[in-house]
């Protein structure tokens, strides 16, 4: 399958620690997917670095905020109030009710309620289902190359949304806007998922944008192309 070949190229060219992750919204679980209880951010990490595939559903998602961000369950008023209180008084990610409201309302990513029963998260190299998104757990140097590769053909500047939870930034935003996004991985995810490196971030790409990135690899120095001229050529002109 072509996306599995894409995974091999991206892993090799970027020298990723692990591999690209595919995310598919599906009404049926994937055959080799784990259905044990898991947080979406942990599933992303384990798919990238451990090679595991997960069928995330409302029944096995252990993060209330993650279940909402992935559109798997609509929170009750009581649950929504509890999450808000936790973000303000527990994690202290918002200063007050008003800032919490603005963070949620002004963000462009909207949870995909009712879209699918399962969110399949697994290594792109072995994913059986066509992905909706491709996530790359990478460092800033690798991300800078991806930024250039993603704009090489179109010239469109990247417009990222940096606030919000890890799963919201990595999955919800790109799914609902159809745009590439960069997620720095929030402090809670880094605390709960011990394997994340300080240098890790998540570069999220809608699948329909991946072809352009792949085709740009041999054409751009952000990929494998050799420079057509050097810095000295410019300086000496």
* Sequence-distant (≥ 6) Cβ neighbours of residue 41 within 8 angstroms: 63, 66, 165, 166, 167, 170, 185, 189, 192, 193
The predicted structure's pLDDT at residue 48? 98
Confidence band of 237 (pLDDT split at 50, 70, 90): low
Q: Measured between alpha carbons, how far is residue 200 from residues 22, 143, 155, 182 in Å?
A: 18, 10, 26, 11
Residue 79's pLDDT is what? Answer: 73
171-204 pLDDT, tens per residue? 999 999 999 999 999 999 999 999 999 999 999 9
Q: Beta-strand (E) ranges in the chain?
A: 21-26, 54-56, 118-123, 133-138, 181-183, 201-206
Could you tell me which of 50, 34, 8 has the C-alpha nearest to residue 120?
Answer: 34
Specify the higher pLDDT residue, 206 or 162: 206
- Rg of the Cα trace of the chain? 19
Query: Containing H/E element for 38?
Result: none
Phi (first) and psi of residue 157, to 5 degrees? -70, 150
Query: d(Cα 201, Cα 184) in Å, to the nearest integer?
Result: 5
**pLDDT tens-digit map of 107-141:** 777 899 999 999 999 999 999 999 999 999 999 99
Average pLDDT over residues 21-44: 95
Instruction: State if pTM tops 0.95.
Output: no
- Residue-wise pLDDT tens digits, 34-88: 999 999 999 999 999 999 999 999 999 999 989 999 999 987 777 777 777 777 8
Mean of pLDDT values over 11-36: 96
Query: Using an 8 Å Cβ cutoff, are 17 and 49 in contact?
Result: yes
Side-chain-side CA neighbours of residue 78 (13 Å): 0
């Amino acid at each position: 399958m072509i996306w599995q070949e894409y995974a091999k190229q991206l892993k090799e060219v970027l020298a990723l620690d692990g591999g690209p992750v595919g995310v598919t919204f599906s009404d049926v679980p994937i055959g080799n997917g784990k259905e044990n209880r898991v947080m979406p951010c942990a599933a992303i990490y384990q798919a990238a670095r451990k090679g595991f595939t997960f069928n995330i559903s409302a029944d096995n998602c252990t993060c209330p905020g993650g279940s909402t961000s992935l559109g798997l369950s609509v929170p009750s008023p009581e649950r929504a109030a509890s999450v808000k209180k936790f973000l303000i008084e527990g994690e202290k990610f918002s200063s007050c009710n008003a800032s919490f409201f603005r963070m949620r309302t002004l963000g462009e990513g909207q949870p995909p309620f009712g879209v699918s029963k399962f969110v399949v998260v697994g290594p792109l190299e072995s994913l059986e289902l066509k992905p909706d998104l491709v996530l790359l757990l990478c460092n800033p140097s690798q991300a800078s190359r991806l930024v250039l590769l993603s704009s090489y053909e179109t010239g469109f500047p990247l417009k990222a949304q940096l606030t919000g939870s890890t799963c919201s930034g990595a999955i919800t935003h790109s799914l609902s806007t159809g745009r590439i996004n960069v997620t720095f991985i929030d402090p809670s995810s880094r605390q709960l998922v011990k394997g994340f490196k300080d240098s890790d971030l998540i570069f999220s790409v809608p699948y329909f944008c991946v072809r352009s990135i792949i085709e740009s690899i041999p054409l751009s120095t952000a990929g494998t192309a050799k420079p057509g001229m050097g810095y000295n050529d410019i300086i000496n002109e």
